[in-house]
Chain A
Amino acid sequence: MRYLPLTPDDRTKMLAKIGAASIDDLFVDVPAEARLNGPIADLPAHASELAVERHMAALARQNRAAGDGPFFLGAGAYRHHVPASVDHLIQRGEFLTAYTPYQPEIAQGTLQMLFEFQTQVARLFGMDVANASMYDGSTACWEAVVMARRITKRNKALFSNGVHPHYRSVARTMAHYTGDVVVDSDPELNAASDWAELAASVDKDTSCVVVQYPDILGRIDDMTALSAACAQNGALLIAVVTEPVALGLIKSPGEMGADIVVGEGQSLGVGLQFGGPYVGLFACRQKYVRQMPGRLCGETVDANGKRGFVLTLSTREQHIRREKATSNICTNAGLCALAFSIHMTLLGEAGLRQLAAINHGRAKKAAAALAAVPNVTVLNSGYFNEFTIILPTDARSLVHRMAERGVLAGVSMGRLYPDNDALANGLVVAVTETVTEDDIAAFAKALTEELA
């Protein structure tokens, strides 16, 4: 067993030191009827590294990798090019095999990185403070709703119909058991968002309004009026950003008056990974910091007066406050936050703006090419790198046929909203810098043939 250093001789010596006759004596507190007397049958025995690698590689080959051909999926997870140095650096053992920085004297690497990450996220979102990350965007979104309840002492959350359906679904699941009220609905295939209607619906019982920017259909809109309506009624505006690269080109939610901004940080550094692990981003105004969930890293000094960093304000957290904590979250997404932060550092402000502009430019080209396909229309008037096209047929079956032609064409609205026939012909198409002109041409050609 290559990972187990004890030898049979060691084990004998150790048992003697302990005063136990055999290893079984150490499990004496297990009731006899629950003891297993040997390895569980019906499961294979240990295997060599080569054999395991062969088995896993065979499974990997049964998947089509996004990079194997034209690829246009988004809807909350985006394929961006991650510089090679990111993956190299996160695999340094000192980052990879460290624990939560509970002993700050020997965890300054992780702590300083988290401080830099918090600064990057806060600035990107136009907020004052960000935490050290959450599990993912969907759980961060629910945590923001809970935080708004704590701050406003109200429990009605209004969700824009443009919020990712999985995020809505997480909120509905939780609200069912916590007594919160989630008011939500499916989107309609309109170019305009529902934010004007939301602004009119905010009332004195509303704890928060949750909007996504860009939204699930790729639409972008100005939230200034909505934030004013929230402020008038004492409600908080929560903005969800599932594609942070967009903020290199469009205004931050903070500039438009959002109170809490949460997001999915997967786009930077993390990769697709079939849905996880990702990294939840969570930022807010300074005045709400003591109501935040999750870990926070703060600056301080050591006994010699040198600058250093520690986890702080932990009286909000479960290991101190137990049932009175702001959240039950313990783990954050440290390594994914590191990947995000390294990628952001490599890009810098100039690089992020350039990357965002390239994404938008490619998306415009793709939208033009697809709009030229007979019987296809582009829904959006405004978008960043993702938009929705309306097909003359059910998009759910079409994506399977397109996959057979080698094109992963997008996410069908039917996959996201299976019970809503009115949306069945919608297809959400994401176009990042990884998409080439040839990919766009291949998509348009295959779609033309399918619809012919």
Chain B
Amino acid sequence: MSTLNPAGWRPEMTSGEAGAGGVPATFTGNRALMLEEPLIFEIGTRETTGVDFDEVAEDFDLGPLTRSAPIGLAGLSESETVRHYTRLSRQNYAIDLGLFPLGSCTMKHNPRLNEKVARMAGFGDVHPLQPQETVQGALAVIHELADWLVKLTGMASVAMSPKAGAHGELCGILCIKAALEARGEDRRVLLVPESAHGTNPATAAFAGFTVEGIPATSEGRVDSDALIARLGPDVAGVMITNPNTCGLFERDMKKISDAVHAAGGYVYCDGANFNAIVGRVRPGDLGVDAMHINLHKTFSTPHGGGGPGSGPVVLSAALAPYAPLPVVKPVDGKLRLVEEENAADHQPDSFGRMTAFHGQMGMFTRALTYILSHGSDGLRQVAEDAVLNANYVLRSLDDVLEAPFGASGPCMHEALFSDRGLADGFSTNDIAKGLIDEGYHPMTVYFPLVVHGAMLVEPTETESLDVLDQFIGALRSLAIRAKQGDEALKTAPHFAPRARLDETLAARKPVLSWQGE
């Protein structure tokens, strides 16, 4: 018996499912293509390395700063490394494997041309502080992408440097703070609808604002009367998601914007769901002052298992002067990065810097490649197909799952269901875990908070009708099983690399790193 895994994932020959139902025992813990994999620290050693060097360096003595104690890092040869990560990768679900209908996350196909372009030496192997005459192509990418984003949104300008959606929110909120400061006003309150992403109130608080909630109407939209009634000299602005997290377009957006402006505030729009309206609606026409665009959602830069994201923020003329450094501007026929050294000439009212360097260039190249591939006509088709697919899912399932806002009109890019009508003791989570056994990643669950047991399904435009029909069939069967009280659902998934994991244990006794030597 191997001692590779003292932590104990590897079943003993005599334990577990040995012999049960005629299934033979497993020595390795593996089952054909379902392969277990230890931690690198359990298979590597401190002496092993998978890298050969040009030379053998001498032992340097840097005095008392010389590192003498062991670090505790494990090394693997290249062959072992490739196998380790390949085996780990096979324990992940991914868009490349199938429909990934996480609502509000926009898991669409990631074109591989985008990856190829980002790796061209002229983009991938360029230092952010090279002399600007040696990076004109990189600046041109930023400039060209910025031009698209401005035109697609009907806004005055765009701040490109924010690193992700929440960072973009922070950028927009700081622009509002800077604009208020320039007006000599100290407005402390930001109004945030209850259905908002958690990042909205967190961002407002991170930037020092007080957050006040705005209720939703029974049809799943912001209560615009309540919002407008709350406006006043202490209100800096609003943060509204449009299309909203219930998958609906905020019909009153323009009315709200006008009222907020009349009361001296600014309108922040969470653009997480811009993919539903790109090419069909320009937020600038709705009175928006700032909106972040998740390049990893609308413009399909890969999600990578949780980042990197990229969150450029389009700005109205009122907020554009306060955009963070750096910005790219044409100066004397050449593209220039406006940084600290020339901000006084070109961006004098900037609120400052939000990050080192210039933003997520690797995401810019991918997003621009995606945008150029689709073009103005294709992007419009993207929104149309995304909305069509979502409505198809909504109307194909609203007889077996309650669609709380099904009567509120067409949905946008995502279809929202509740857990109403499931048998006692059965939950949204059971349906989600059942979907895993059917070969799908579950939809977003328990969000938005305004719907009980929410299931938010975003199919995206890159799924075919056949794939949608199969998914609909699977979800329909699960809804029926949950209504009938099929106990097997409660222990799903049965066929995933792991059964349900004990999250309470993980939080009660946190083990956040490998504890061995």
Within residues 30 to 80 of chain B, which ones have a CB less than 8 A from any CB in chain A? Answer: 37, 39-41, 44-51, 53-60, 62-76, 78
- How far, in angstroms, from A20 to B388 measured CA to CA in the complex? 10
Q: Across the interface, do B60 and A249 meet the contact criterion of CB distance under 8 Å?
A: yes
Instruction: Check: B146 CB closer than 8 A to any chain A CB.
Output: no
Stretch from B367-375, B418-426, B477-485 at the A interface: B367-375
Given that A1-B374, A6-B465, A93-B94 are contacting pairs, would A308 and B356 also be in contact in the complex, using a CB cutoff of 8 Å? no
B346 touches A (CB below 8 Å): no
A312-B503, A348-B74 known; A96 and B355 CB under 8 Å?
Answer: no
Which residue of A has the minimal Cβ distance to B465?
A10
A354 pairs with B57, CB closer than 8 A:
yes
Set of chain A residues within 8 Å of B45, measured between Cβ atoms: 348
Number of A-B contacts (CB under 8 A): 719
Interface residues of A in 318-360 (CB under 8 A from B): 318-325, 327-336, 338, 342, 344-355, 357-358, 360
A197 on the B face (CB < 8 A) = no
Q: Is the CB of A112 within 8 A of B91?
A: yes
Is A345 a contact partner of B74 (Cβ separation < 8 A)? yes
Contact with A along B351-368 (1 / 0, CB 8 A): 111111111111101001
A378 at interface by CB-CB < 8 Å: no
Q: Give bound CA distance, A271 to B362, whole Å.
A: 10
Which residues of chain A have C-beta atoms less than 8 A from B88's C-beta?
108-109, 112-113
Q: Which residues of A contact B513 (CB under 8 A)?
A: 115, 118-119, 122-123, 128-130
State whether A62 and B140 are in contact (beta carbons under 8 Å apart), knowing that A105-B499, A299-B511, A403-B134 are contacts in the complex.
Answer: yes
User: Is B27 close to A, CB under 8 A?
Assistant: no
Q: Give the residues in chain B near A272, CB-CB below 8 Å.
A: 124-128
Q: A56-B120, A136-B163 are in contact. Are A177 and B174 (CB under 8 A)?
A: yes
Asked whether any CB of chain B lies closer than 8 Å to the CB of A30, the reply is yes
Chain A residues with CB below 8 A from B82, complex form:
85, 88-89
Once bound together, how far apart are the Cα atoms of A96 and B380, in whole Å? Answer: 26
Please report which residues of chain A, range 59-73, place their CB below 8 angstroms from some CB of chain B when the two chains form the complex.
59-68, 71, 73
B93 x A298 contact (CB < 8 A): no
Interface residues of B in 80-138 (CB under 8 A from A): 81-82, 84-86, 88-97, 100, 102, 105, 107, 109-111, 113, 115-131, 133-138
* Listed stretches B226-234, B299-307, B312-320; interface member: B299-307
Report B-chain residues with C-beta under 8 Å of the C-beta of A34. Answer: 254, 281-282, 285-286
Question: Are A173 and B354 in contact (CB-based, < 8 A)?
Answer: yes
Residue of A with least CB distance to B102: A99
Contact B302 A97 (CB under 8 A): yes
User: In the complex the two chains form, is B500's CB within 8 Å of A105's CB?
Assistant: yes
CA distance A335 to B135 in the complex (A): 25
Given known A-B contacts A43-B375, A323-B205, A250 and B67 have beta carbons under 8 A apart: yes
Q: How large is the interface on A (under 10, 10 to 19, 20 to 34, 35 or more residues)?
A: 35 or more
Asked if B392 contacts A18 (CB within 8 A), the reply is yes
Question: Within B265-324, which residues are at the interface with A (CB < 8 Å)?
Answer: 277, 279-282, 285-286, 296, 302-310, 324
Give chain A interface residues in 92-125, CB to chain B under 8 Å: 92-110, 112-113, 115-116, 118-120, 122-124
The listed residue (B96, B117, B352, B467) touching A94 by CB distance below 8 A is: B96
Q: Which B201-257 residues have C-beta < 8 A from chain A? A: 201-208, 211, 248-249, 251, 253-254
- Given A276-B163, A277-B163, A310-B501, check contact A28 B410 (CB 8 Å): yes
A contact residues around B253 at 8 Å (CB): 31
Does any Cβ of B come within 8 Å of A176's Cβ? yes
Known: A11-B388, A328-B169. A301 touches B501 (CB 8 A): yes
Flag whether B430 is at the interface (Cβ < 8 A).
no
**A33/B374 in contact, CB under 8 A:** no
Contacts of B102 in A (CB 8 A): 99, 102
B92 touches A107 (CB 8 A): yes
**Is A251 close to B, CB under 8 A?**
yes
* Cβ contacts A to B, 9 pairs, < 8 Å: A29-B410, A93-B95, A170-B355, A250-B62, A335-B307, A348-B45, A349-B71, A411-B129, A433-B54
Given A3-B373, A67-B125, A109-B91, 5 additional A-B pairs, CB 8 A: A73-B129, A77-B357, A173-B351, A250-B65, A328-B199
> Can you list the 7 inter-chain pairs with the closest CB atoms, starting with the nearest?
A348-B75, A60-B122, A335-B304, A275-B357, A62-B137, A93-B96, A275-B128
